[in-house]
Structure 1
Amino acid sequence: MSTLRIYISNQCPSCATAIHRVHFVRRLRPEQSVELINLDHQDTVRPSYVFGTPTYCLGNQIIFLGNPSEGELLSKLDQPLSSVKQIT
């Protein structure tokens, strides 16, 4: 199972919702590995494909730019990774 990584930043007004999505996924899908990554932290390395926040990635694939609904997020997590568009 690939890790869900959610990239946020301090100045992002929508990132509070992204933080709630992390807690939501951890509660409903405890087996799903989830990382919340704040791009404003000094030691954080921003992947080249992350250009805005919030960005949701599954493995190394962007699955959402901006916040999905809770249902959309769960639906995407339930899909096989091969059906998720590859980042190029």
Structure 2
Amino acid sequence: MPKRLNADKRESDPVGLPLLQVYVARHCPNCEEARRLARLADSLFPTLTVHVIDLDESSADGVDVFAVPTYVLNGRVCFLGNPSEEELWERLGRLVESSAKMR
């Protein structure tokens, strides 16, 4: 079972849209790819809210993330490290589809 993120961050968008949070850091060599995937996800899934959170920023204080990049969907860690595009699109597609059915 995926770990629930213990952070002072919103676990869903205020209007109930699915939320993808991507945690990155400046020192991380793989985080530029994570930023790229986040931008693509934001453009490919218009009903998905995407936040990129830089752990080097003071606004990330108190976040319980131990590795970067970390991908969190609706408050649950779904990937440690970068997934392939196919894995990410499949997971996001299922989430967006199930979210649309619930509205």
Output the TM-score relative to the length of structure 2: 0.71
Number of aligned residue pairs: give it.
80
Contact 2:20–2:74 (CA<8 Å) still a contact in 1?
yes
Highest CA radius of gyration, 1 or 2? 2
Letter in 2 for 1:68: P
Q: 1:80 to 1:31 in 2, by over 3 A?
A: closer
Equivalent residue number for residue 68 of structure 2: 53
Alpha-carbon separation, structure 1, partners of 2:75 and 2:43: 23
Identity %: 35
Unaligned runs of at least 5 residues, structure 2: 1-16, 97-103
Output the TM-score relative to the length of structure 1: 0.82
RMSD (Å) for aligned C-alpha atoms: 1.5
Equivalent residue number for residue 3 of structure 1: 19
Q: 1:46 to 1:71 in 2, by over 3 A?
A: farther
Provide the secondary structure at the position in 2 that maps to 1:31. coil
